Amino acid sequence: MQVNKQSFYNFLEGNGKVFVIPVYQRDYAWDIKNCDRLWSDIVLLNKKDSNNKSHFLGTIVNIYDKQDERLIVDGQQRLTTISLLLIALENYLKDKIDKTEDESRLQQELMDFLVNRHSSDKSKRIRLKPNKQDRIDFDKLFEDDFEVGNDSNIVNNYNFFYEKIENCELKPRELFDNFKKLEIVNIELERMYDDPQLIFESLNSTGVDLTDGDLIRNYILMGLEPREQEDLYEKYWVKIENKVGDIAEFLRNFLMFKLQKNVTQKKRAVYHEFKKYSKQSFGNNANDVLESVLQYAKIYSFFINRSTHPDAQINNSLTRLNNLRFTPAYPFLFDIFDLYSKDVLSKNTVNTIINLVESYVFRRIMVYNSTQGMNKMFLTLSREVKRLAPDNWQDRYFDVMSFIIKNKTTSQKFPTDSELREAMLVKNVYKLSSKNRDFLLSSLEGYGSSYSVDLTDLTVEHIMPQTLTNVWKKSIGIGWEDMHSEYVHTIGNLTLTAKNSKLSNNNFKIKQKIDLHTSKLKLSYKLGDINEWNKEVILQRTNSLVDEMIQIWKYPVTDFEKVVIKSEVYTLSEDLDLRNTKPVIIQIGDEGFKIAHWREIIEIICRKFYDESPTKFREFMRNSDLSRYFGFTGIGQYDYNDLREFRKGFFVDVHGSTTEKFRFIIKVCEHFDFDYSEIGFEVR
């Protein structure tokens, strides 16, 4: 085995070289996002203010086979993509009418990288041999009458590079010179002595892997002089780590706040988003980006209780919210504390906002056993507040927020007082997660008190025990079995005690004598005056405790009223209801499209994702749970009112209500890992 660091240029050059992708390799899978990232890296190499003298692309593992033929064991995606870029550059020069002499020479140089022009063996003329599935499309790119289209990732990515070259400020020679700066580690195996499979598995193993936090630290510091690396590491990075603990999770929430879009927890997602953010916002100035990150790391440390907020009231509210471990609120809270630091929001407003978030989250846990659907809501909540009150949101932030939250429906609904009461009458509180159950009981115990309750030495006690003795059955009477199964785990039958082992399954009178008569705990001391423990008493106690819950976790009250205007902008969400409206514009990220009917949005969405990766989208059409909506060439014989041809020969069924169309779009976005909150509509 020989391992060499070399330029991609040197790896490709050489008369007679042929690169073969073995049949066992997967199909070419890079899509537009991958190509766009590579293109940006190549263009950046030309910038005068850039410190990048080269760009490392990764590793290529190959086996020297015979007659200068190399089998590509690992790295086929990079090799194929670079070849597509070179083909696009060569074809661009071929199509150019007013070529300079240098451009004509460059066209010939490019051809030498792509084909063996003097080879007598036609099968070896094109130097890269993709596997069978991709070779047909790849070979077409060398034909004079080749027609561009969106038929596969091969063709799609070629079109992407051709368009980028057409509109690029750099000259073709400058692009080619930048290509020469691309570097790889070339691992050349000897068939007789090296086991390609073992080496491949070793290179792609997940046993020791860099985290996104490691990659981001290296990305920020690696290009600096050693002394500057040490200074910034001590001045910023060590402090950031101490403040936040899990760097990747902190930066994920930080980026969602800054970018106002979802950032997934998938491997490398945070790293790639941070790279783009750092370039666009700070020009990769290491000191500036670290200074900003440290500022928000200090705020984040308050959220997760690694630091104590200087205001005791706010600190207490954040501590309570942290007990729920509800992380989706963090991007929203970043904005709140950012406004607080700028004196836009008062201390009292910040505190009431945190309390409202707690009430919203905890009521949903109690009533619906779920906080699903709230991630997107909190991601866009601050933006929605400012949109609804553009002239005075600073003064009415809490009122507008309250209005928005209390008017949410379906998966984002804020449970009312009556809904909370109805749920708690039969709620199995004992089987809640320990953190939620303890939070409920400690909050009820501490309600109206100036002290917080430490549950460390206390246990949860079932007043009517989990296992009934004959004395208990006789005490309850007829229907004891149904009564026990329905109410044994409800809040009305639970209390706290330090004497759980002594109480055991004893009857109610004995439990009163042992503990309930003398208990100093608020949840227990009123139980000493009750004569008999039955269904009516349990329900009465439940209602009494729910009265307190309604005061602890308040339902929002606001006098804010939404101003109705003729044209409004909405962000796509699961509960969006735009029936009886007329669409004007759909906004997808930075792209806007004029539309006249809701049917058009499905066509636009399908075209977008198909164009990014035709191969992946066709697989989605065949095998997803939405496959029934799609058809291929020939479906046009059916009713065209319900069909849209989003690409030649590919159709999608667009019938159904507006709500059904939105659900379809959300499912498509989720499959392709696209944040559907970035889709907006202007309607009338």
Question: How far is 393 from 385, CA to CA, in rounded Å?
Answer: 7
Q: Which residue has the higher pLDDT, 213 or 452?
A: 213
pLDDT tier for residue 514 given thresholds of 50, 70 and 90: confident
The answer to whether residue 472 scores a pLDDT higher than 50 is yes
pLDDT at residue 196 in the model? 66
pLDDT in tens, 380-422: 899 999 988 988 999 999 999 999 999 988 888 999 999 999 9
pLDDT at residue 636 in the model? 43
Q: Is 448 helix (H, G, I), strand (E, B) or coil?
A: coil
pLDDT at residue 638 in the model? 44
- Residue 643 makes CB contacts below 8 A (sequence gap 6+) with 631, 635, 636, 651, 652, 653, 654
- Going by C-alpha positions, the residue among 566, 602, 578, 574 that lies closest to residue 681 is 578
The answer to whether residue 513 scores a pLDDT higher than 50 is yes
Q: Which residue has the higher pLDDT, 52 or 382?
A: 382
pLDDT at residue 217 in the model? 87
The answer to whether residue 206 scores a pLDDT higher than 60 is no
| SS3 annotation, 200-227 | HHHHCCCCCCCCHHHHHHHHHHCCCCHH
pLDDT at residue 353 in the model? 97
pLDDT tier for residue 637 given thresholds of 50, 70 and 90: very low
Question: How far is 458 from 495, CA to CA, in rounded Å?
Answer: 10
pLDDT at residue 50 in the model? 53
Residue 583 in contact with residue 597, Cβ under 8 Å? yes
User: What mean pLDDT do residues 191-220 have?
Assistant: 68
Global model pTM greater than 0.85:
no
Average pLDDT along the chain: 86
pLDDT tier for residue 204 given thresholds of 50, 70 and 90: low
pLDDT at residue 635 in the model? 46
Domain regions of the chain by residue span:
2-203, 212-420, 434-552, 568-683
Q: In this structure, what are the phi and psi dihedrals at residue 583, rounded to the nearest 5 degrees?
A: -75, 145
pLDDT in tens, 109-166: 998 889 887 776 766 789 898 977 788 889 888 887 776 666 789 999 999 999 999 9
Please report the beta strands in 314-354, taking only residues with DSSP state E, as ranges in sequence order. Answer: none
Residue appearing with tokens 């909540």:
381
Tokens of 469: 């003795």
pLDDT at residue 414 in the model? 95
